[in-house]
């Protein structure tokens, strides 16, 4: 696994990523949807596996799933699994928060 620093501190990450507001992050040419949930971060592929829409344009629902803005497909942020298993799982990316920054595994 290749860990890449995406923020210098956890505070910087939490200041820049609003709670439950998906955000597009491009790291080494990968388009990633980053979501803050309390004191943690989740990262999944930004491309919906159903029809290719950008998930960073979506919303987070009551079950903490990312909802595709196009057809409403709902994906678990930890597993990438679509709620009704109507499409392929999203790729997920581990995040770790360390004293010297926030890292994503690619």
The full set of domains in the chain, from first to last, is: 3-105 (2.102.10.10)
Determine whether 101 is exposed, middle or buried from the number of CB atoms within 10 Å of its CB (0-12, 13-18, 19+): middle
Residues 6+ positions from 51 with CB-CB distance below 8 Å: 68, 70, 71
pTM of the predicted model, to two decimals?
0.93
Nearest to 20 by CA among 60, 67, 66: 60
pLDDT tens across the length of the chain (106 residues): 899 999 999 999 999 999 999 999 999 999 999 999 999 999 999 999 999 999 999 999 999 999 999 999 999 999 999 999 999 999 999 999 999 999 999 9
């Amino acid at each position: 696994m290749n860990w890449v620093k995406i923020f210098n501190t956890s505070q910087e990450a939490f200041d820049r990523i609003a709670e439950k507001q998906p955000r597009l992050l491009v790291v080494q040419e990968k388009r990633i949807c980053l979501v803050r949930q309390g004191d943690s971060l989740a990262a999944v592929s930004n491309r919906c596996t159903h029809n290719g829409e950008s998930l960073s344009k979506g919303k987070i629902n009551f079950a903490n799933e990312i909802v595709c803005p196009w057809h409403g497909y709902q994906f678990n942020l930890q597993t990438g699994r679509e709620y009704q298993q109507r499409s392929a799982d999203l790729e997920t990316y581990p995040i770790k928060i360390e004293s010297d920054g926030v890292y994503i595994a690619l």
